Amino acid sequence: MAPETETSSSDYEITLPTTSPPSASSPTPMHSTPSKCKEEMYVGQEFVSFASFKSAMLRWAVSCDFKHRYQKSDRQKNVVVCADKACDFEVRASWKQAIQGVEVTVAVPTHTTCLGTSTKRLPVNNHTFLREAVPEIMTVGKNTTPNEVIAAVMWHYNQKMKYQAAHRVVKVLQEKNMQTEMEEFRQLPQYVRIMRKLDTMGEYFLDVEEGSNRFQRIFVCPEASRSCFINSPPMIVLDSTLTTSNLPMPLLVAVCPDPNNEVALLAWAVADEENEVSWRFFCERLALYCVPSCYVTIYV
């Protein structure tokens, strides 16, 4: 099966339904709906830093659908008020040497004059908030669309976000995931060394291109899987599929029936591409390390 994208891992070194708006005859405060308001601050609440305090404040604003602004923000104190200057909402947080952190000293969470009218930039469209919140409510992959993010945010926060904001956060998170996967490839040699120490009877083998040190293949056969096969009917089924990561690669697998006649995973390998060399690499190590010297029926 051919990959759906031309991106290849060999280029990298190891190294709810929406709610109806309030009618004009009976306006409601921005966060008057209890089911929407998931966050609230209180006097004495502690944070490890002002950054974490600001993150929590932003989540509160999104959850309760109000806009806020910082009247003061320095290394010793943050003062947060409502975007509506006539509103009594106010939260103050100060750095406390005794706890080596930030503590809320004043909290007036009630909005008195601001109403739930639309604004050009709602808190839910804040990019900082979206970068933190979206990965917590959904998995962003290479095929994730902005509309899927909009639907997830609507479900969890009951707010409609802009398409442009969703598009931006999708691109940023996809790039971040790509960089994370590249870093994980660089950690494969360490992974193999650790697994060899933890599972001394298992087989873990990493194949890299000589000279360039680029990833080519990795083979895994834990001791538990091999022991299962020894006590099972002598039959193996080979198959392959593609990983669902940002760097799609062939995943070669070997399964066998266990003593209870259930399917058990015997060994697997990830390769830079599916070809004769990769299958030979997989089958040779499967025969050498995992399959005892006996007659075995193999289905492909």
Q: Quick one: 216 and 170 in the same domain?
A: no
Which pLDDT score, from 0 to 100, does residue 140 have?
A: 83
Q: Quick one: 160 and 287 in the same domain?
A: no
Of residues 202, 181, 204, 180, the one with CA closest to residue 193: 204
Q: Quick one: 137 and 273 in the same domain?
A: no
First-last CA distance in the chain: 14
Q: Quick one: 242 and 284 in the same domain?
A: yes
Q: Helix or strand or coil: residue 266?
A: strand
Q: Helix or strand or coil: residue 263?
A: strand
Residue 288 lies in a domain: yes
Please state the domain count of the chain: 2
Q: Quick one: 108 and 132 in the same domain?
A: yes
pTM over 0.85: no
Last residue of a domain, one of 161, 182, 203: 182
Which pLDDT score, from 0 to 100, does residue 293 have?
A: 59
Q: What is the mean pLDDT of each run of 10 residues along the chain (300 residues)?
A: 45 42 39 48 89 84 79 89 84 91 88 55 72 82 86 82 87 81 85 92 90 88 87 85 83 88 90 91 87 62
Q: Quick one: 257 and 287 in the same domain?
A: yes
Residue 130 lies in a domain: yes
Quick check: 251 and 9 in contact, CB under 8 A?
no
Tokens of 228: 């299962």
Last residue of a domain, one of 153, 182, 211: 182
* DSSP code for 275: S
Quick check: 217 and 9 in contact, CB under 8 A?
no
Q: Which domain holds residue 124?
A: 29-182
Which pLDDT score, from 0 to 100, does residue 128 have?
A: 77
Which pLDDT score, from 0 to 100, does residue 30 have?
A: 38
In angstroms, the CA 20 to CA 17 distance is 10
Which pLDDT score, from 0 to 100, does residue 9 have?
A: 45
Q: Quick one: 169 and 197 in the same domain?
A: no
Count CB-CB contacts under 10 A for residue 41.
18
Residue 19 lies in a domain: no
